[in-house]
Structure 1
Amino acid sequence: MYQVGWDKQEIKIAPKGYAMFGYGQWSHRAYEQRTALYVRSFSIVDQQQSRLILCCLDLGCITHAMRSKTVARLREMLGAEFDENQLVLIATHTHSGPGGCAHEALYNMPTPGFVPEHVDAIVHAIVLSIQTAIENEQNTEIGLSTQHFENDTPVAWNRSIRAYNRNPEVIEHSEHETHLAINREMQLIGFYREQKLQSFISLFGVHATCLGNSLSAYDGDNKGYAASFSEQALIERGIENPVTIFAQATAGDVSPHFHGKDQLKIRNKIKGEQEYYYAQQNGRYQSDLALTGLQQPMQKVQGQIDAIFSYVDLSHIDVPPEFAHGKKDAKTSQPCHGVAFFAGTPVDGLGAPKPLIKGMQFLADQFKKQKLKSDAAHDFTAYQQLYASQGPKQILLEAGAKKILGQPIGFPPSILDPLIAEMNRQVRAGAIQQSPLVPSIVPLQIVRLGNLALVCCPGEFTTIAGQRVMETVKQQLIGKSLIDRVWLASYCNDYMGYVTTYEEYQQQAYEGGHTLFGQWTLAACQSKFKLFAEQLLLDKKYRDYDQSTRPKLIPLQELAKRTNHGNLKTAVSQGEAV
């Protein structure tokens, strides 16, 4: 028996015209609110008084700005009771939530800039939700269940089938079978009092992109609707204040839109108000499966709460050969965005026009040839190492070095695009001199809840990348401990782009172009998760892993210069005018 409490609080951010996070589109701005956005929290305490806090937010991602502020507030509130290792913050990855929430510069460009009141409102809702959940703790039984969507339930499709089919462990699927090239499993954690289902957590990977980038309202998308439907269903059964979380598992290459013959034509028929109906139907599929599955006999959760949490610098990892196909010099590198990143996804979010992409590809190829000529390039060795790590990626943006095709950011003419105009404005203002464009030091976490181990990942893991991580952790834990299930949650604690398998990466679809640290990114993650799983088997006093590394503090003066607070209308109009 555990002591468990739960609560949800609205994230109160008024839509004022800032761009939303997810599509990276300058024009994708919030002028209205379609549904409330929530923080949903669970506080779970075992018999040794060890507490796990798990929060899910209707946002595109978690950022270090959110987590670090939340940790500081919880330390003030709970004192010695609070263990940062045992705090999990998860995003539903709705693309219709507020932007401007990261201290790092790049993904805030469309907003434009950093919006401190957004972070303050989010942290306030998180802390209030956790505080209320703790106050409401009661004796609760916990059960685990696994359910599967029937093959004909139109809930999800693989949007990168050619990359998926490169994996040696998969059954190849044609472009007519993309709905089979995903993990159609939903994992469920149910909370029961007096043998009645009170609340639950669902894990299922599918992008929250039912709503496209032409809409202008905050909305929880499919995950938000699934939670709302489920909570209403429980209320109708007589349950008071139920909380249901619909979190993401391996969603990296999984779309809620049909992928196959005539995919764009089919997607383009869903416009405007129909997009909201489409999101609701997708949420209904998820809600119905969860509610049905939780009425069946479940495996009871018993045992202690524990966790391993560590920040890892993914830009500097020597990957062990066991995870790198036997290669002895496999390394990760500084974060780089490929041309495929700027091309976008085939249905969910198209990027730059094809002629522009062709031009980018040509320039990236020419730049690579130039830099790998030892007699011409003074930085030959550095670029040789970079391209060995990044493999076939056509590098356009060296986010770590803050260079575009070898030139410092800020050089492209502002007239090309409003996003470039905003980047140039920030460069001229001295707002990105010491600040990173994207995170390189990111949190990896394994949480133990009795016989369940939950692997918490900060990025967008593809279907098979996530499976490989779970297999790595299973090999360390199953049979060596009381843990008999290993599940994965993504979009946890920060955002680091995508993680594909090595084989998928070679395709250089959007997901590979956005796998920032190179073709060995997954292998690096596997090596670290193996280490942390080994540590989880040890008594806490014998554990030995990095607990001191942290992201560098962002210079406050630079953050202030990236903040368009009070100048939104001017910043947007200037961007649109160039």
Structure 2
Amino acid sequence: MMGYASLAQTDTGLHMRQRSRAFVIADQSDSNNRIVFINADIAMGDTGVRRSIVGNLSALYPGVYDNTNIAFVGTHQHSGVGGYLEDLLPQITALGYVPEAADAIVKGTVLAVQRATDSLAPGSLTLGNTTILNANANRSPSAYLANPAEERARYQYDQDKDMTLLRFNDASGNARGFLSFFAVHGTSIYENNTLVSSDNKGMAAFLYESDVEPDSMPGNNTFVAGFTQSNVGDTSPNTLGAFCESPGQPWDGQSCSFNQSTCGGTTEDCHGRGPGFTADSYGFESNRIIGTYQYQGAKTLMGQSLAAVTGPVKAVHTYMNMSFREFTLANGTNVTTCPPGMGYSFAAGTTDGPGAFDFIQGENSTNVNNPLWELVKGFVTPLPPPEQVACQYPKPVLLDTGYAHLPYEWSPNTVDIQMLRVGQFVMLIMPGELTTMAGRRLREAVRAALISKGIVGDDAYVVIAGPANTYAHYVTTREEYGVQRYEGASTIFGQFTLESYIDKYSELVTYLSPTVTSSPPSDPAPPEQTSKAISLRTGVVFDAPTIFKSFGDVLGDVKTDSAYHAGDSVSAQFVGANPRNNLRLEQTFLTVDKQSGSTWTPVKSDSHPSTLYQWVRTDTILGTSTVNITWTIEEGTPAGSYRLTYYGDAKSIGGKITPFVGHSSTFTVS
């Protein structure tokens, strides 16, 4: 799975499917002036996947969509599939590249853009914002406090509480959807979970879309609710705080240390807790709560009269090589960024997902009490040369990924710089995770440049969307970088990373003017690496049913002698097969069916948060599997007769894949 970088976190089923939601905005005076905003339920955008998406869309719509006007933004959930990113470092914990995962993301995203394009029609946009409390917290408050006191005094909170919403209206003023921006990490569901999910952004989208169209299955709705990530770097949905989960230790149940988030001097037992925390929780209830807060914020804005968005549609895109990029600060000082490098505190993880060994956050020296790491790190990546050590200071470099080129690039050296303009509304498409204060500084600088250069008036509104297009890890302020918590250690291009982005984005605002028809200068695009990618995962060899059974047969049935009620969980176990045989894109692995006379009608799918699909390989040699399907009955479920249905696909020894269906017995909901 992608996000927590844990080899033990391997997919075993589904909680909620990952989806892409596409938004196309065209200038009515010239519909070729358009942008595509893709809000994908993945951890982050990726260069290789985006390259495939752009290639497909450019071929389908020549002269309409290209590298400039397509933004590929991840919601940054940590419960989804891994192995789709092009660089080696994020592939390692997914056992390399996973072509079927990358292909599914590309296929689904292209289909979403096709549907958005086919439904393009005259309409209008409106814009507003609201405050959402209790939905995020700062997970590195000690680093935030390193920022100047006078700057912090300008803000009430140490994370952004505003949700910005762009409403899409048809020609009659009826809402067709919206795109919202709010900063909160997709870590509501914890690292102990192994079911694919879309975390709190996907939950918010499900809640809103099913509220508008309650009779539509997820994915078949016509109203599209986009919940986009923003300057997410130091935010957390674990709003109760971080606590020591150290049974038998005197610090068990106490808050983790403030500066380094440790328990008894180590990080492993320090865990953030969401608002629905229980000792045996996977975070699903916290996920529902944080998703609900965002759903309610969007609903508040959609019920208000919002400001009209007017003006031209324009996009600008360029590539920027961050390795030793030289530029000048506002005070006239010449500085450089660095080749990528991960600091020691990167290995410590965060309170959302702590690391291991003896690494701790806030470690700005190499005095880690594990001499083995000092010995082996040179074998993992090259030891940093003196110029890299000096450039990355005060970060001590643990993994010098910018100098690691075998078997291919470990981290990106070149990033996408992209801005999308719709009238007075400008979206900064960011190739990384900005912390709260870093995002504030970038937004303010770009807004000031837009106004001072006469591109947009005083009503200019700027938002950040990311991590998008390329994943280049974190962006902190210089003050936060000096503290070297996880976010600073993961700011891979050095202490002037934020200033480099401010310099480039501010420089490019001129190209958002409709009178400027030229393209900005660009560094070379990053090299293609997908063709070099390594995969250590074995394919599905074959499936076999349990002895004396057939695929889809029921092994453990539902209760039939008494009724179920709201809040009860209904489960059935089936003779199963490996779900990798067929990902059932645009389909489902399960349904909950309601009986009406002799007809069964599906009312739930594997995209509903009330259902769980769990697959277990019971014997690798014999190729046997079981599948457990669970439905937790929601309040308001109509009384009647129901069944659980399992859709599977089995692979024979000869390689033929055959679909099959299994049904539970009929049960009653009272």
Query: Aligning the two structures, in what range does the TM-score lie when normalised by the shorter sequence?
Result: 0.7 to 0.9
Q: Which residue of 2 aligns with 1:407?
A: none
The one of 268, 273, 288 aligned to 1:267: 273
Residue 38 to residue 353, structure 1, CA distance change in 2 (3 Å):
same
**Per-residue CA shift, 1:538-570, capped at 9, x if unaligned?**
733345422x620112273x32x445352899x
**Per-residue CA shift, 1:114-157, capped at 9, x if unaligned?**
011111111110111111111112222110001112xxx32111
Q: Which residue of 1 aligns with 2:429?
A: 456
Question: SS of the counterpart of 1:73?
Answer: helix
Question: SS of the counterpart of 2:420?
Answer: strand
Q: CA deviation at 1:75?
A: 1.3
* 1:210 aligns to 2:210 (yes or no): no
C-alpha separation in 2, matches of 1:99 and 1:525: 28
C-alpha separation in 1, matches of 2:52 and 2:474: 25
The one of 476, 482, 488 aligned to 2:456: 482
* 1:132 aligns to 2:111 (yes or no): no
**Per-residue CA shift, 1:303-355, capped at 9, x if unaligned?**
21101111111113113121xx6532x2111111011000011x201001337
Q: Does the 8 A contact of 1:31 with 1:216 survive in 2?
A: yes
The one of 383, 388, 408 aligned to 2:390: 388
C-alpha separation in 2, matches of 1:172 and 1:476: 22
The one of 96, 117, 123 aligned to 2:106: 123
Amino acid at match of 2:20: V
Q: Which residue of 2 aligns with 1:34?
A: 15
Q: Which residue of 2 aligns with 1:157?
A: 137
Amino acid at match of 1:43: V
Residue 564 to residue 359, structure 1, CA distance change in 2 (3 Å):
farther
C-alpha separation in 1, matches of 2:6 and 2:204: 26
Q: Does the 8 A contact of 1:307 with 1:445 survive in 2?
A: yes
Q: Which residue of 2 aligns with 1:335?
A: 340
Q: Which residue of 2 aligns with 1:532?
A: 508
Question: SS of the counterpart of 1:101?
Answer: coil
C-alpha separation in 2, matches of 1:61 and 1:333: 22
Q: Which residue of 2 aligns with 1:9?
A: none
Amino acid at match of 1:333: C
Question: SS of the counterpart of 2:124?
Answer: strand
Q: Which residue of 2 aligns with 1:436?
A: 409
Q: Structure 1, unaligned stretches of length 5 or more?
A: 1-19, 370-378, 403-431, 574-578
Q: Which residue of 2 aligns with 1:61?
A: 44
Between 1:204-213 and 1:537-546, the stretch displaced more is 537-546
Question: Structure 1 or 2: larger strand share?
Answer: 2
Amino acid at match of 1:302: T
C-alpha separation in 1, matches of 2:494 and 2:420: 27
Q: Which residue of 2 aligns with 1:284?
A: 292
Q: What percent identity do the matched residue pairs reach?
A: 28
Map 1:511-530 to 2 at 5 A.
Answer: 511-530=487-506
**Per-residue CA shift, 1:427-485, capped at 9, x if unaligned?**
xxxxx635100111110111111121111101000011111111121121125123521
Amino acid at match of 2:117: I
The one of 316, 325, 342 aligned to 2:324: 316
With normalisation by structure 1, the TM-score equals 0.80
Residue 497 to residue 158, structure 1, CA distance change in 2 (3 Å):
same
C-alpha separation in 2, matches of 1:535 and 1:169: 35
Q: Does the 8 A contact of 2:271 with 2:352 survive in 1?
A: no
C-alpha separation in 1, matches of 2:349 and 2:112: 35
Residue 38 to residue 341, structure 1, CA distance change in 2 (3 Å):
same
Amino acid at match of 1:242: F
Question: SS of the counterpart of 1:504?
Answer: helix
Map 1:78-477 to 2 at 5 A.
Answer: 78-149=61-132, 153-168=133-148, 180-193=157-170, 194-235=172-213, 241-258=222-239, 259=241, 262=255, 264=270, 267=273, 269-273=277-281, 275-322=283-330, 326-328=332-334, 330-345=335-350, 347-354=351-358, 361-362=366-367, 383-402=385-404, 433=406, 435-477=408-450
The one of 12, 22, 35 aligned to 2:3: 22
C-alpha separation in 2, matches of 1:543 and 1:387: 36
Q: Does the 8 A contact of 1:21 with 1:99 survive in 2?
A: yes
Amino acid at match of 2:462: V
**Per-residue CA shift, 1:209-240, capped at 9, x if unaligned?**
01111111001111000001111222259996
Amino acid at match of 1:327: T
With normalisation by structure 2, the TM-score equals 0.70
Residue 364 to residue 398, structure 1, CA distance change in 2 (3 Å):
farther
- Choose between structure 1 and 2 for higher RCO, CA contacts under 8 A separated by at least 6 residues: 1
Residue 244 to residue 538, structure 1, CA distance change in 2 (3 Å):
closer
Residue 498 to residue 356, structure 1, CA distance change in 2 (3 Å):
closer
C-alpha separation in 2, matches of 1:170 and 1:90: 33
C-alpha separation in 2, matches of 1:72 and 1:339: 38
Q: Does the 8 A contact of 1:257 with 1:267 survive in 2?
A: yes
Residue 198 to residue 536, structure 1, CA distance change in 2 (3 Å):
closer
Q: Does the 8 A contact of 2:271 with 2:354 survive in 1?
A: no
C-alpha separation in 1, matches of 2:360 and 2:437: 31
How many corresponding residue pairs? 499
Residue 437 to residue 474, structure 1, CA distance change in 2 (3 Å):
same
C-alpha separation in 1, matches of 2:197 and 2:407: 34
Amino acid at match of 2:325: I
Q: Which residue of 2 aligns with 1:504?
A: 480
C-alpha separation in 2, matches of 1:67 and 1:528: 21
C-alpha separation in 1, matches of 2:71 and 2:444: 21
C-alpha separation in 2, matches of 1:186 and 1:79: 35
Q: CA deviation at 1:170?
A: 5.5
Q: Which residue of 1 aligns with 2:571?
A: none
C-alpha separation in 1, matches of 2:40 and 2:236: 20
Q: Which residue of 2 aligns with 1:411?
A: none
Amino acid at match of 1:205: A
C-alpha separation in 2, matches of 1:179 and 1:566: 52
C-alpha separation in 1, matches of 2:370 and 2:499: 26
Map 1:559-570 to 2 at 5 A.
Answer: 559=533, 561-562=534-535, 564-566=537-539
Q: CA deviation at 1:285?
A: 0.3
Question: SS of the counterpart of 2:200?
Answer: helix
Question: Structure 1 or 2: larger helix share?
Answer: 1
Q: Does the 8 A contact of 2:3 with 2:79 survive in 1?
A: yes
**Per-residue CA shift, 1:96-127, capped at 9, x if unaligned?**
01100022111111111101111111111011
Question: SS of the counterpart of 2:394?
Answer: coil
Q: Does the 8 A contact of 1:59 with 1:92 survive in 2?
A: yes
Q: Does the 8 A contact of 1:64 with 1:493 survive in 2?
A: yes
Which of the two has higher C-alpha Rg? 2
Amino acid at match of 1:244: A
C-alpha separation in 2, matches of 1:505 and 1:135: 46
Q: CA deviation at 1:490?
A: 1.6
Q: Does the 8 A contact of 1:474 with 1:486 survive in 2?
A: yes
C-alpha separation in 2, matches of 1:169 and 1:137: 48
Q: Does the 8 A contact of 2:340 with 2:493 survive in 1?
A: yes
Q: Does the 8 A contact of 1:319 with 1:520 survive in 2?
A: no
C-alpha separation in 2, matches of 1:473 and 1:266: 34
Residue 552 to residue 543, structure 1, CA distance change in 2 (3 Å):
closer
Residue 265 to residue 456, structure 1, CA distance change in 2 (3 Å):
closer
